[in-house]
A and B are shown apart, each in its own frame.
Chain A
């Protein structure tokens, strides 16, 4: 069997101020999976994400991406393989035009000319934003900026797409459009979210992180219908949403 795309073993991390965020996290994500990473605020989800592409360095344990250990000498390749889309598109889009922003990642990988142009147009096409290629990002709507943020990472042709709160602040139509885009991508997805219906709609599997450890790992339906687990980790379904009455998508 091939190496998992994401292979996190016994990962522990404490911030420089002494606050320990992760206490031995184990997580394996295989090619083609879409996995939701759930957990209350302060559970360590963002800290975990920042380890996946080597922004933070493990205090103990290891992280490997398709067999390649996340270590200083591999950082550039690790960051190509793991595409992180941050929550606020204004943090991700910092160049004066959409084109320059989408170019930024692949250009850092050394691409130029026709190949670079192909990557940019292709990535924007996959999120339906090709027509906006020469616009400045700050003139786009929030939903459009989020889609361009996804494109900036897709242009690097990552092996796994990590989305931090992809549905936050989106209106229902933008939320649905983004779901269609995520479903259409032929890429492994790890999605950090508080939006449980979104997780249920998009991710067959869910992992619950709470107080720095993985407390549940199973089908999203099983996780969301385990009332004791949900209550113990401050996870709540929105009013009127009952996964028991909805067939798994």
Chain B
């Protein structure tokens, strides 16, 4: 349980991408994704340029291909949806091999795939090069409301505690011969979830007491403010700027 160090999305490293302050990377990610989403889908080559730029960042960060590829699986539901679109969409149809597919559906499918994949890849790159707690500090620096930052912070901190509890409850269940085979086992699973909810709720109350005991008054004290030099901002801006130039060229042509 305590053996894995760092979050499973994070890939430890010392590249220039890793060393950038979190808030510059968040701004870069959001700008890059906005540019990608704003690109008209018929400019296929622009998406290719985006992909090359992004893979350049992945390479610069020294992230192994397998690490990223395995985590891209999160995109699968969108891929399935995108694959269905040409079959179910209406509009003029074009023959592709033995199939007759919807032309608008094909375009929508392509746009979804291209923009989705780039977005997921960019997000994974951020997650792989930034520790969760640095991400939080970055979001706080970007003036995300304190309540949201606190909620994210507690989630990061207690995810392992709660999953640990869930695992222990599962082991205790199975040690008494329980196997989730059919619908009849659902009541047991439901009461596990219920018990976990009560326990987490009670833990929340105990944490609140512990916070009050150390003088908590409703705001987390800000002790360190993230700063970024202009050189760091320029480095972080390289990717979205290149993407923006690509978009401008694509639209102008």
Q: Interface on A for B, CB 8 Å cutoff? A: 50, 53, 55, 76, 79-80, 82-84, 86, 88, 90-97, 100, 103-105, 107-109, 112, 116, 136-141, 152-153, 156
9-residue interface stretch from B39-47, B113-121, B187-195, B213-221:
B213-221
Assess the B209–A50 pair: CB atoms within 8 A: yes
30 A/B residue pairs, CB under 8 Å, sorted by A: A53-B213, A79-B213, A79-B215, A82-B213, A84-B213, A86-B213, A88-B203, A88-B206, A91-B210, A92-B207, A94-B154, A94-B158, A95-B153, A100-B223, A103-B221, A104-B221, A105-B214, A105-B215, A107-B223, A108-B215, A108-B216, A108-B217, A112-B223, A116-B223, A136-B133, A138-B160, A138-B161, A139-B2, A141-B2, A156-B214
Instruction: Give the 8 A-B CB pairs with smallest separation, nearest first.
Output: A107-B221, A96-B133, A108-B215, A105-B214, A91-B206, A84-B213, A92-B210, A79-B215
Of A84, A137, A156, the residue contacting B157 (CB under 8 A) is: A137
Of all chain B residues, which has the CB nearest A80? B215
A79 with B212: CB separation less than 8 A:
yes
Among B2, B132, B214, find the residue whose CB has the most chain A CB atoms closer than 10 A.
B214
Q: Given contacts A136-B133, A139-B5, is CB(A90)–CB(B214) below 8 Å?
A: no
Residues of B within 8 A of A (CB): 2, 5, 132-133, 136, 153-154, 156-158, 160-161, 203, 206-207, 209-217, 220-221, 223
Q: Are A153 and B157 in contact (CB-based, < 8 A)?
A: no
Residue of B nearest to A86 (CB): B210
Interface residue from B156, B212, B215 paired with A96 (Cβ < 8 Å): B156
A116 CA to B153 CA in the complex, in Å?
Answer: 22
In Å, the complex CA distance between A107 and B203 comes to 23
Residues of A within 8 A of B215 (CB): 76, 79-80, 105, 108-109, 156
Residue of A nearest to B205 (CB): A91
- In the complex, A153 Cα to B214 Cα: how many Å? 7
In the complex, the answer to whether B157 meets A138 with C-beta atoms within 8 Å is yes
Q: B157 to chain A: which residues have CB within 8 Å?
A: 93-96, 136-138
New contact pairs (14) apart from A53-B213, A116-B223, CB-CB < 8 Å: A55-B209, A79-B213, A83-B214, A86-B209, A88-B206, A91-B203, A94-B154, A100-B133, A104-B220, A108-B214, A109-B215, A136-B157, A138-B161, A156-B215
A109 CA to B216 CA in the complex, in Å?
9
Query: Closest Cβ of chain A: how far from B251's Cβ, in Å?
Result: 42
